[in-house]
Amino acid sequence: MDQTDFLSPADAGLDWIGADGPSADIVLSTRIRLARNLRDHRFGPFARPEDRAAVRDTILDAAEEIESLRDGIRLEIGSLGSLERSLLLERHLVSKELIGEGDTGTTSQSMLLLGSPSSVGVMVNEEDHFRLQSLVSGLRIREAWQEVDRLDDEMGNRLAYAFHPQFGYLTSCPTNVGTGLRASVLMHLPGLVLTQEIGKVLQGIVQVGLTFRGLYGEGSEVVGNFFQISNQTTLGKTEEDLLDHLTKIVTQVIQYESHARSVLLRDAPTVIEDKVWRAYGLLRHARTISFEEVMNLLSGVRLGVSLKLLQSPSVYTLNRIMVFTQPAHLHRAANSTLTQTESEVHRASFVRKILEDDEGQRRA
Amino acid sequence: MDQTDFLSPADAGLDWIGADGPSADIVLSTRIRLARNLRDHRFGPFARPEDRAAVRDTILDAAEEIESLRDGIRLEIGSLGSLERSLLLERHLVSKELIGEGDTGTTSQSMLLLGSPSSVGVMVNEEDHFRLQSLVSGLRIREAWQEVDRLDDEMGNRLAYAFHPQFGYLTSCPTNVGTGLRASVLMHLPGLVLTQEIGKVLQGIVQVGLTFRGLYGEGSEVVGNFFQISNQTTLGKTEEDLLDHLTKIVTQVIQYESHARSVLLRDAPTVIEDKVWRAYGLLRHARTISFEEVMNLLSGVRLGVSLKLLQSPSVYTLNRIMVFTQPAHLHRAANSTLTQTESEVHRASFVRKILEDDEGQRRA
């Protein structure tokens, strides 16, 4: 298919914002990725152009034989413009590394294969030779694992993985050696932030060997009270153990968050209701707005919807606003390059339109 | 009439918020008051109880013979509760002095006579024996003067004023000696505040012998970008000269304000539009709000209505919100004493209701 059309289905790769998974009002999405390398090719910073080319060809050959990858989307990262690369990043479909914004800084022979359904994908010639990813809505660690594990089996049947009998899967960065597994759960924790318990909770998360990050993964700041919680360790434990541990902790954090919300509703109902409605009022009426402010206001509205203080919009609508008000998505919708000022006007207009339509539907 | 019912007509004494006067989008109201004392009674801090009683009787006798006062409302301040006194203050119908919050601290024999129409009134046993007041919507210095001057003539025909051939009318405080006239124009100057020219303009006002104050007169802070501009001098000039001078300066300030607004619209249309709509969004949706915040947000909305960035609400509606969200008005509407927290919830609810109705009407 034409590369420039790769996002023509407006929601390509956006299964994860469907808000149809369990605990979707607190857990936005679950992502699991496996880092894999091929035995007979140098990897990481030692990979030569011929290694990258061979990896690419080998993986494409394998993908041809795998049903879930055969009919999906294939993108040559090197031939994508910066807007298209940013679109992929904003949809959480690629890592910064894959689109050339990481340490290696190259996109030579890099590809994204999006499966069908597009909740699974393969990043080729990323930091590792390839990474398999499953990204789904809500808290679905088990399902995401089954999906990516099946794909890993299918690939493993056709490819010679770099695998060490003692260490496990070998990876470019030692922190991924072992299972090569990273499972992340994107959580919305405004209750814990408002009750100022978040520090304690995050500390606890670190103490049990997990880690937390912002919306865009490693090195990104926390915006809109979203926290990505994931396993830190990849070595010395089975995949099952890692996933069970994450599930257990995330389930606990959901309980803490729910409890914080009910405490807020009990002790400061007016303050919360006011906060929620003011956030809605600003989103509904602002004429110019930054992405960061949108995220912070969406956090308030999301809390309100979850607490049933607001009858609308739906969590799915909120997720859509979050994705489509990012810079590259705005540029794409405007079909032209926007200055920062123009971008903030477009963003406000987009948000207003969505909420207005939503209000209209509710009234009708 | 029963004193407790004195504000039963919900808009008693509120002609001045009608928004039907000239330049009503910039000039909220015009007020002229004349300070008068009776020749044969001590006044100011020297007045004895018998002086205050005699003044009261004398003025009531005169009022009986004056058509515009005969059918109006008469209120004994001393028998009003603090809520009712505050209501009068919030409607700009009395001074703090009259309701016992000034230097003398007494309301003995103090009265308010509201004329018919209620745009004219007489404060009896205020700082001076009595003060005549005319309070009208928009910029109407001439009309307000004619109204109060006619009342002054009618009173003067029946009463022996304390008048000195060289100084003019004698008053309790020397700053009022001469004409006893204070004319004030309540102006909304957000354009000059936003362009930061307000300091220069206010300085100019003082240099030409005028003075400025906040919404509630002497000693009150500026809120919501409202400035009361009035004459400082009362001695050595005729009433005509004083009023002409004020008219000239206020007309100039209106021009400056209009110019500032067009500069803002030209140079920062998005910023202004955003400011205006955010103010509307917060008023329309907040669940708890202080009076000061209401005033500041109303200022934004008023600017938006004046610049036709907002199609509604009307200036009259904005004026109503301003009056009816004051603490005493809220208490009265709730028919009970409210804590500060309750008051802020009632205030938000009142504002929301008015704006919601207004939106409904516009949509219908």
The pTM is what?
A: 0.91
Confidence at B14, pLDDT banded by 50, 70, 90: confident
Confidence of residue B7 (pLDDT cuts 50, 70, 90): low
A264 touches chain B (CB under 8 A): no
Q: Is B356 on the interface with A (CB under 8 A)?
A: no
Instruction: Give residue B248's identity as a one-letter amino acid code.
Output: K
> Residues of B44-58 as b/e, b for ≥16 C-beta within 10 angstroms?
eeebeeebbebbbeb
Of chain A, the percentage scoring pLDDT greater than 70 comes to 96
Query: How many beta-carbon pairs under 8 angstroms link A with B?
Result: 50
Asked if the model's pLDDT at residue B117 lies above 90, the reply is: no
Integer CA distances (angstroms), A158 to A38, A61, A112, A270, in order: 11, 9, 19, 60
- Length of chain A, in residues: 364
Distance between CA atoms of B226 and B216, rounded to whole angstroms? 10
For residues A7 and A117, give the distance between their C-alpha atoms in angstroms, rounded to a whole number: 14
Return the minimum-mean-pLDDT range out of A103-107, A133-137, A293-297: A103-107
pLDDT average, residue stretch A79-96: 92
All residues of chain B having their beta carbon less than 8 Å from the beta carbon of residue A288 are 270-271, 274
pLDDT bucket at B5, cuts 50 / 70 / 90:
low
Is the predicted pLDDT of residue B103 greater than 90, yes or no? no
Burial of residue A219, with CB atoms counted within 10 A of its CB: 0-12 exposed, 13-18 middle, 19 or more buried:
exposed
Distance separating alpha carbons of residues B326 and B332, to the nearest angstrom: 10
A270 touches chain B (CB under 8 A): yes
Residue of B112, B4, B136 lying closest to B63 (CA atoms): B112
pLDDT of residue A8: 58
B contact test, residue of A272, A275, A285, A338 with most B CBs within 10 A: A285
Q: 3-state DSSP call for residue A168?
A: strand
- In the DSSP assignment, the letter for residue A17 is G
Residue A362 near residue A311 (C-beta atoms within 8 A):
yes
What's residue B1's pLDDT?
38
Q: What is the pLDDT of residue B12?
A: 77
pLDDT at A300 over 90: yes
Please give the average per-residue pLDDT across B133-161, as a whole number.
Answer: 96
Pairwise CA distance, residues A27 & A22, whole Å: 8
Task: State the pLDDT confidence band at A218, using cuts at 50, 70 and 90.
Answer: low
Whole-number pLDDT of residue A302: 96
Helix, strand, coil in percent for chain B, rounding step 5: 50, 15, 35
The full length of chain B comes to 364
Beta pairing partners, B337: none
CA dihedral B335, B285, B138, B184 (to 10 degrees): 70
The answer to whether residue A220 scores a pLDDT higher than 80 is no
pLDDT number for residue A4:
46
| B85 band by pLDDT with thresholds 50, 70 and 90 | very high
Instruction: Provide the pLDDT for residue B4.
Output: 46
Is residue B66 helix, strand or coil? coil
Sign of the CA dihedral with B240 first, then B241, B242, and B245 last: positive
CB contact B280 to A (< 8 Å): yes
Q: What is the pLDDT of residues A303-343, one digit of tens each?
A: 999 999 999 899 999 999 999 999 999 999 998 889 999 99
Mean per-residue pLDDT over chain A, rounded: 92
Report which of A39, A297, A68, A57 is spatially closest to residue A170, judged by C-alpha positions: A39
CA distance A84 to chain B (A): 29
Query: What is the C-alpha separation between B178 and B196, in angstroms, rounded?
Result: 36
Q: Hey, what are B84's tokens?
A: 């009712």
Q: Is the pLDDT of residue A241 over 60?
A: yes
Band of residue B289 on the pLDDT scale cut at 50, 70, 90: very high
Question: What's chain B's average pLDDT?
Answer: 92
Is the CATH number of domain A3-191 3.40.50.300?
no
Cα-Cα-Cα-Cα dihedral sign, residues A339, A344, A346, A347: positive
The answer to whether A326 touches A291, Cβ cutoff 8 Å, is yes
- Whether chain A has a CB inside 8 Å of the CB on B349: the answer is no
Residue A102, pLDDT score = 79
pLDDT tens across A40-69, in order?
999 888 899 999 999 999 999 999 999 989
Phi, psi (5° rounding) for residue A153?
-60, -45
* Structure-token match 């979850």, residue found: A306
Query: pLDDT (tens digit, 9 = 90+) per residue, B214-240?
Result: 876 666 677 899 999 999 988 989 999
CB B34 within 8 A of CB B131: yes
A286 and B281 within 8 Å at the Cβ level: the answer is yes
Q: What is the percent of chain B with per-residue pLDDT over 70, rounded to a whole number? A: 96
The 10s digit of each residue's pLDDT in B39-80 is: 999 988 889 999 999 999 999 999 999 998 988 889 999 999
DSSP for B202-253, please give it: HHHHHHTTEEEEBTTBTTPPP-TTEEEEEE---SSS-HHHHHHHHHHHHHHH
Single-letter amino acid, residue A315 = V
Percent of all residues in chain A with a pLDDT value above 90, rounded to a whole number: 78
Of B270, B281, B288, the CB nearest to A274: B288
**Burial of residue A285, with CB atoms counted within 10 A of its CB: 0-12 exposed, 13-18 middle, 19 or more buried:** buried
**Dist. CA A104–CA A99, nearest whole Å:** 10
Residues in A touching B278 (Cβ below 8 Å): 282, 285-287
Q: Is A348 on the interface with B (CB under 8 A)?
A: yes
| B238: CB partners within 8 A, 6+ apart | B179
Comparing C-alpha atoms, which of A64, A45, A239 is closest to residue A126? A45
Q: Dihedral angle at the C-alpha atoms of A344, A347, A352, A358, nearest 10 degrees?
A: -160
DSSP track, B178-216? BT-EEEEEEEE-HHHHHTT-HHHHHHHHHHTTEEEEBTT
Q: Record the tokens describing residue B4, joined without a space.
A: 């407790």
Q: Which residues contact A25 (CB under 8 A, 6 or more apart)?
A: A19, A188, A302, A305, A306, A315
Domain map of chain A by residue range? Answer: 3-191, 268-363
Token pair 């990104």 is found at: A220
- The pLDDT value given to residue B44: 83
Which chain A residue has the Cα nearest residue B271? A288
Touching check for A311 and chain B: CB below 8 Å?
Answer: no
Q: Coil, strand, or helix at residue A5?
A: helix
Q: Which residues are paired to A32 by β-bridges?
A: A134, A183
Q: Nearest-CA distance from A215 to chain B in Å?
A: 27
Q: Are B141 and B246 in contact (CB under 8 A)?
A: yes
User: What's the pLDDT score for residue B275?
Assistant: 96
**B167 vs chain A: nearest CA distance in angstroms?**
57
CA nearest neighbour of A92 among A151, A134, A141, A139: A134
Q: Which of B267, B287, B312 is the best substitution to test chain A (most A C-beta atoms within 10 A)? A: B287
Interface with chain B: mutation pick from A264, A265, A274, A355, highest number of B CBs within 10 Å? A274
Q: How far apart are CA B57 and CA B124, in angstroms?
A: 10
Q: Are A111 and A77 in contact (CB under 8 A)?
A: yes
- CB-count burial class (<10 Å; 0-12, 13-18, 19+) for A358: middle
